[in-house]
Amino acid sequence: MKPYYEDTTSGITIYHGDCREILWMFKADLVLTDPPYGSDTCVDNARFSGGALWNRQVMRSAVQERRKVEGDCKPFDPTPLLEFKRLALFGANWYASRLPDSGGWIVWDKRGNGLEDMKGWPMGECELIWTNLADAVHVFRNRWMGLVRDSEHGEHYHPTQKPVALMRWLIERFTKTGERILDPYMGSGSTLVAAKSVDRRAIGIEIEERYCEIAAKRLAQSVMQFGRHCDETG
C-alpha cells in the first residue's frame, strides 16, 4: 500500500484508508490512539450552550451544519487492537466492558491549574485513557477547554484534537527512543507530531483524506519549528 506521506529520515508515515482493513499490515511497539468510541458526538457549534460563543469566535467563516465524527455513531469494538501487546486508548470508559481489566488508567485533567469553576461548561472536565502498561492511575494536567488552552493556541485542526504535549508525555512514558508508535485513528496527526519531536518512529492511519493533508502539513511545519528552537538555544 502506497503511503500518503512518508519521511524516511524521521520514520514517520501516513496512510489514507480504513484502519480496520489494513491494520494487519503493521507492527508497532505502542498503539496510541483516540478511536471513535460511540458517543455519537456532534462536532458543530450546537454542542456548546446556545452555540453562540463557539459560532462567533471559531465557526464564523465555516459552513454551519451538523456533522458527526466519522464512525462515532455506533459502539467501538477494540478487539483488533488487542492483537498488539502495548496499548493506550482514549475514551475507553465508553467501551471498558470490551477490554481486559486494568489498574493503569491515565486521567487527562483538562482544567489544568486554572479552571476550577466549570459551571456551565458542557464538555467533560477530563478524559480517561486505558493502558495495559501502567500499574497505577496517573494524572496529566493540561488546560484544553475550547479557546482556553495551555498550548497550541489558535491551532484548531480537528473536533477531537489532542494536545501534542499530552501525546508526547504518553509516548515518553511508555516507549524508548527509536521505537515505533501506531495511531490507527490519526485525525490531524498530533500523535505523529509528538513522536517526531522525541525521536520515535510513527505510523498514522486516517480514513478522511483532508486530515491526512492537515497532518502532513503539521509534520512539515514541525521541522521548521524544531529548527528555530535549536537556533534560539544554541
Which pLDDT tens digit goes with each residue over 174-227? 999 999 999 999 999 999 999 999 999 999 999 999 999 999 999 998 754 544
Domain containing 175 equals 5-233
CA atoms within 13 A on the CB side of 79: 2
Cell 524508548, residue located: 176
Query: What is the model's pLDDT at position 56?
Result: 42
The more confident residue out of 63 and 186 is: 186
How confident is the model over 34-49, as a mean pLDDT?
59
User: What residues have CB less than 8 Å from 199, skipping those under 6 apart?
Assistant: 177, 178
What CATH number is associated with residue 211?
A: 3.40.50.150
Query: Over 60: is that where the pLDDT of 61 sits?
Result: no
Residue 115 to residue 3: CA distance in whole angstroms: 41
- Total structural domains within the chain: 1
What value does the CA radius of gyration of the chain take, rounded to a whole number of Å?
18
Residue 70's pLDDT is 55
Rounded to whole angstroms, the Cα distance separating 121 from 48 reads 8
The confidence score (pLDDT) of residue 39 equals: 53
When pLDDT is averaged across residues 45-62 and rounded to a whole number, the result is 41
Residues 70-96 pLDDT 10s: 555 578 999 999 999 999 999 999 999
| Helices vs. strands in the chain: H and E counts, helices first | 5, 11
Helices (H), 102-208: 164-174, 190-197
Dihedral (CA of 125, 131, 137, 140) sign: negative
Mean pLDDT score of the chain: 82
More confident residue, 130 or 56: 130
Which pLDDT band holds residue 28 (cuts at 50, 70, 90)? very high
Question: What pLDDT does 144 receive?
Answer: 83
